[in-house]
Amino acid sequence: MKFVDEATIEIVAGDGGNGAASFRHEKYKEFGGPDGGDGGRGGYVYGVADPNLNTLIDYRYTRRYEAGRGENGMGSDMFGAAGKDITLRFPVGTILRDQATGEVLHELLTPDERIVLARGGDGGFGNLRFKSAVNRAPRQKTVGRPGERFGLQLELKVLADVGLLGMPNAGKSTFITAVSNARPKIADYPFTTLHPNLGVVRVGPEQSFVVADIPGLIEGASEGAGLGHQFLRHLQRTRLLLHIVDLAPFDDGVDPVEQAHAIVGELKKYDAELFGKPRWLVLNKIDMIPQAERAARVKDFVKRFKWKGPVFEISALAREGTDLLAKNIYQHVRQQQRTEQPDPAQQDPRFAQDD
Ligand SMILES: Nc1nc2c(ncn2[C@@H]2O[C@H](COP(=O)(O)OP(=O)(O)OP(=O)(O)O)[C@@H](O)[C@H]2O)c(=O)[nH]1
Ligand SMILES: [Mg+2]
């Protein structure tokens, strides 16, 4: 499954500075020649493909990007300085479109590839330029040219970095809502989620990852009994699985440990590779357990489940422990990314045919 991350931003290159009209002032010399310098060029806006970025989410926070204006020219033959250039960084695979026409301007496919997005305007000419045999004292000058500006549409196909696993009603959709921009349907009955949802989680500037919420797994799902199994394949490209467990089931007869074993059993039956992926245990709904009992309940769960890996306790509903978990996930995803193959055209399934 592919998911498209999008943003629209405004790109403004710098205007050129104006040329100056000025004459030399020298002692004992009544009429100095023209000495007005040219204006500086406006700043350019560049784009670069940054292999460290995963999503476009930062571009939903800041939408306008403006390079510097060129300085005006000055007397004494002084040219204005060029405006400050700016460089915008995009994830590899970002497609850039002109907002007005929808035309594809470029696809950033090669890591560190750099392109000009918008050219700064040329600076105006100072009167120094207009000096000629017939006019030794020109007053002419020109103003700087405007920089290019336009609306830029960004589009990126993203894959899930993290997958959520768990029984129906465990709180997967609530968790994705707590940490990401996705708004899946949440309800107190099982199988609320009928389609996989992807959400972008932003833990800080230029720090984000993609999480997939899939329909709940139940026992027998790997044989097609539940809804879950057809969705398991969406988790195949992920770098981490979060196993979400309802630690405080409404029905007293339900043992969270048994439920958790059922999920792991399904995973194992379905796919050894998926089973072998890094998996973290996330004990949810701790708000339902009195504070004084929490530590003991968690300890008991871990012991009976014979779990040796990372454990997080959260309340997806109250958003307790969710930010900390998101930060840990981000660190893990980044670390995994760094150890993977760097050539995206070869390795990155985003560039493969759609499934
Ligand atoms: N008290 C409490 N309730 C929660 C918490 N997380 C989820 N819930 C509730 O549990 C119910 C199920 O939550 P969902 O997020 O829809 O569960 P799901 O795992 O996505 O369920 P499916 O999509 O059916 O697989 C909803 O009524 C939620 O409000 C939590 O941390 N505390
Ligand atoms: Mg759900």
Structure-token pair, residue 208 = 């984000």
Q: 208: how many CB neighbours lie within 10 A of its CB?
A: 25
Closest Cα to atom 14 of ligand 1: 171
H or E segment to which residue 1 belongs: none
Structure-token pair, residue 157 = 């196909």
Q: Are 236 and 276 in contact (CB under 8 A)?
A: no
Q: Which residues, in sequence order, are CB contacts of 353 under 8 Å at separation 6+?
A: none
pTM strictly above 0.95 = no
pLDDT on residue 173: 87
H or E segment to which residue 249 belongs: none
Give me the helix-helix angle, 322-338 and 172-179, nearest 10°: 80
pLDDT on residue 121: 95
Q: Does residue 192 sit in helix, strand or coil?
A: coil
Architecture of domain 160-343: 3-Layer(aba) Sandwich (3.40)
Looking at this predicted complex, what is its ipTM?
Answer: 0.98
pLDDT on residue 290: 93
CA 277 to chain centre: 24
Q: Are 189 and 35 in contact (CB under 8 A)?
A: no
H or E segment to which residue 112 belongs: none
User: CA 212, CA 195: separation in Å to the nearest integer?
Assistant: 10
Q: Using 70 as the pLDDT threshold, list the residues of the chain that sit under it.
A: 1-3, 27-31, 182-196, 215-234, 236, 341-355
pLDDT on residue 197: 74
Q: Is the CB of 249 under 6 A from ligand 1?
A: no
Closest Cα to atom 12 of ligand 1: 169
Q: Is the CB of 320 under 6 A from ligand 1?
A: no
Q: Checking DSSP bridges between strand 240-246 and strand 3-12, what pairing results, if any?
A: unpaired
**Which residues make up the CATH 3.40.50.300 domain(s) of the chain?**
160-343
Q: Is the CB of 264 under 6 A from ligand 1?
A: no
Q: 230: how many CB neighbours lie within 10 A of its CB?
A: 13
Topology of 3-157 in CATH? Spo0b-associated Gtp-binding Protein; Chain: A, (2.70.210)
Q: Which residues have CB less than 5 Å away from ligand 2 (the ion)? A: 172-173, 192-193
**Which residues make up the CATH 2.70.210.12 domain(s) of the chain?**
3-157
pLDDT on residue 314: 96
pLDDT on residue 297: 93
Ligand 1 centroid–CA 165 distance in Å is 13
Handedness of CA 128, 134, 139, 143 (dihedral sign): negative
Q: Is the CB of 172 under 6 A from ligand 1?
A: yes
Closest Cα to atom 1 of ligand 1: 285
* Amino acid (one-letter) located at 177: T
Q: Are 176 and 185 in contact (CB under 8 A)?
A: no
Ligand 1 centroid–CA 256 distance in Å is 14
